[in-house]
Amino acid sequence: MHSFLIAVIYLILYLISEMNPKKVKKMKYICPQCGSTELYLESGGIMGNIYHCKKCSYVGTFVIEGEEDMVKEIQEGHKVETGKP
Ligand SMILES: [Zn+2]
């Protein structure tokens, strides 16, 4: 249901990161499911690095790499999502 919204967020974040290649701030790994930054590296393997979210126990190779400002935006986006019926 919300996958489209999430995809749009990813696209926006991608475009922002492409537009500001020189602006290197503190990059954080963000959980694509809940927007939490409490991710830790589970292991590296054939598939690449596997990340584990402490908050929602998401496990996967894909995480959002973003600045601290993006964390807020993503978390706000998740709030909007959950507010819908
Ligand atoms: Zn999570």
Domain count, the chain: 1
Ligand 1 center to residue 36 CA distance, Å?
A: 5
Residue 61 pLDDT more than 70? yes
Ligand 1 center to residue 2 CA distance, Å?
A: 15
Ligand 1 center to residue 29 CA distance, Å?
A: 11
pLDDT at residue 27, rounded to an integer: 80
State pTM to two decimals.
Answer: 0.54
Give me the residues paired with residue 85 across strands.
Answer: none
Ligand 1 center to residue 16 CA distance, Å?
A: 22
Ligand 1 center to residue 84 CA distance, Å?
A: 19
Domain containing residue 14: 3-83
